[in-house]
Amino acid sequence: MEQTQIIMGMPITIKIFDKNAESLLKSCFDYFKKIDSRYSTYKPDSEISQINDGLPKTKWSTEMKKVFSLCDETNKLTKGYFNIKHNNKLDPSGLVKGWAINNAANMLLKHGVEDFFIEAGGDIQVNGKDGNEPWIIGIRSPFNVNEIIKRIKISNKGIATSGTYIRGQHIYNPLNSKASLSNIKSLTVIADNIFEADRYATAAYAMGVKGIEFIKSASSLEGYMVMSSGIATYTSGFERYVVSA
pLDDT higher than threshold 80 for residue 94: yes
What does residue 98 show for φ and ψ, rounded to 5 degrees? -65, -40
pTM of the model: 0.92
The pLDDT tens digits of the residues spanning 185-211 come to 999 999 999 999 999 999 999 898 899
The pLDDT tens digits of the residues spanning 135-153 come to 999 999 999 989 999 999 9
- The total number of structural domains in the chain stands at 1
Q: Of 141, 103, 97, which Cα lies nearest the Cα of 7?
A: 97
Would you give the distance in Å from CA 36 to the centre of its chain?
Answer: 15
Mean pLDDT, to the nearest integer, of 219-242? 95
Burial of 191 (0-12, 13-18, 19+ CB in 10 A): buried
Domain encompassing residue 105: 2-241
The pLDDT tens digits of the residues spanning 10-50 come to 999 999 999 999 999 999 999 999 999 999 999 999 999 99
Q: What percent of the chain is modeled with pLDDT above 90?
A: 86
CA distance 127 to 135: 8
CA distance 231 to 204: 17
Give the pLDDT band of residue 98 (cuts 50, 70, 90): very high
CATH number at residue 121: 3.10.520.10
